[in-house]
Amino acid sequence: MEMVKVLVAAPLHEKAIEVLKNAGFEVLYEEYPDEGRLIELAEDVDAIVVRSKPKVTRKVIEAAPNLKVIGRAGVGLDNIDLEAAKEREIRVVNSPAASSRSVAELVLAMMFNVARKVSFADRKMREGVWAKKQCMGIELDGKTLGIVGFGRIGYQIAKIAKALGMKVLLYDPYPNEERAKEVEGNFVDLETLLEESDVVTLHVPLVEQTYHLINEERLKLMKNTAILINAARGAVVDTNALVKALREGWIAGAGLDVYEEEPLPKDHPLTKLDNVVLTPHIGASTVEAQMRAGVQVAEQIVEVLKG
């Protein structure tokens, strides 16, 4: 019998490779081959594993007669031609839950950072400025956290918030009451959440209904002492309105991991503001999330290929 072949076309955690090898599969590894090379490599493989790169195009799929499953270690599937895969009944598997805790912990880091002006203070220290007077902060204990989008990540944050002694408000058009009870969170409408929260954090997918969900009008509903965190997708927030809000003090500060344009252009107005903490889309960038993403995808590939 011929050996089952898996092409790993992007860096994958060694534990994930182990899962594939333990299943008795032959594992070929080449990092980010271009389309032409991928077509060559795909010729006799049963599975291909990618991350956000390389692209698995229709041409690649058509060049792989044995292909039965495509694994994406991570969330988004934009680099895979799903239509072409569907036509051939090729399964596409991913690992959307692998990074939830990591994103939640980054949000936590941002909440504390903005509340205590850690990045600002650090910048001043390096300039030789002892900015003690400008660094009056707030505690999170007893404050209200508003979570917009109570899915995988929102739930992880709610659990942490509860442990911090925060009151949790939730907004989600598809409320999961059982989970809300578990974290002692209350569902309210979006306007109430924005008006009453000391920290608002966004965890919705980017779809038509959530494009610029946080706009000028909604930013004006927030307390002028409030903090906004966006680690969902950049376009969930109207960036121009946010810059205005931060500049003019409609809200106190923000923490952003995602942007309408990525990478964030050099000298963007956001980079000129002291009351915002910026990170380069690193929500899922932890050792644990990467390992989980790889292992979960490898396990699903084994499942598919072993019937």
Which positions lie near ligand NAD, rule CB under 6 A? 75, 96, 99-100, 103, 148-154, 171-174, 203-206, 209-210, 231-233, 257-258, 281, 283-284
Cβ distance to ligand NAD smaller for residue 5 or 51? 51
Least distance in Å: CB of 44 to ligand NAD?
Answer: 34
Residue nearest to ligand NAD (CB): 151
- Choosing from 262, 268, 288, 299, the catalytic residue is 262
233 counts as catalytic: yes
Cβ distance to ligand NAD smaller for residue 46 or 172? 172
262 counts as catalytic: yes
Least distance in Å: CB of 96 to ligand NAD?
Answer: 6
Distance CA 195, CA 180 (A): 20
Least distance in Å: CB of 165 to ligand NAD?
Answer: 23
Distance CA 70, CA 60 (A): 11
Is the alpha carbon torsion for 288, 293, 296, 299 positive or negative? negative
Cβ distance to ligand NAD smaller for residue 120 or 150? 150
Cβ distance to ligand NAD smaller for residue 106 or 140? 106
Could you give the C-alpha distances from 145 to 180, 204, 229, in angstroms and in order?
13, 16, 11
b (16+ CB within 10 A) / e for 60-70: bbebbeebbbb
Least distance in Å: CB of 78 to ligand NAD?
Answer: 11
Distance CA 296, CA 157 (A): 22
Question: Which tokens in the block code for residue 172?
Answer: 């989600």
152 counts as catalytic: no
Is the alpha carbon torsion for 275, 185, 143, 171 positive or negative? positive
The residues carrying an active-site annotation are 233, 262, 281
